[in-house]
Amino acid sequence: MKKYEFIDHTADIAVKAYGDTLEEAFAAAAEAMFDIIIGGAEIGMEKNISFAVESIDVEGLLVNFLSRLIVLHETEYLVLGAFKIKFTGDNRLEATASGEKYDEKKHGPGEHVKGVSYHMMDIYDGKGKKNSYVQVLFDI
């Protein structure tokens, strides 16, 4: 199964990310975001980070998760490419991500992702019966 696809949008970049579970779909959305940031370059798995995020609903959880990754990229200059997500409640998740420090020569110029939007957001949890997906718009 493919992990994600880009959806046509006039100004920003929209992604539909898939997984066998909603946790895998969240992880695929994060992979897509970093592919946008570094133009699809290879990411070494030299460093692991873990964090948790909460929100009042699943949409906010997706936004908070991806926004935390943007902050890590902007403040610690990390590019991340492998994600493990575990929902630890209706409105909380724990994430582990692997990656490395951004290197302009290795990772090259991609698009600067400024934020995550609720516009066009769609989340489907197949709960094991069908594939799950998330659709999210990145503000560039």
- Read out DSSP for 108-122? -------EEEEEEEE
List the domains of the chain with CATH numbers. 4-139 (3.55.10.10)
- pLDDT at position 2: 67
- The whole-model pTM stands at 0.95
- pLDDT at position 26: 97
81 vs 69: CA distance, rounded Å: 11
- Taking each continuous run of H as one helix and of E as one strand, the counts in the chain are 3, 7
DSSP E strands, the chain:
4-7, 13-19, 47-54, 78-89, 92-101, 115-124, 132-139
- pLDDT at position 80: 97
93 vs 52: CA distance, rounded Å: 6
- pLDDT at position 40: 85
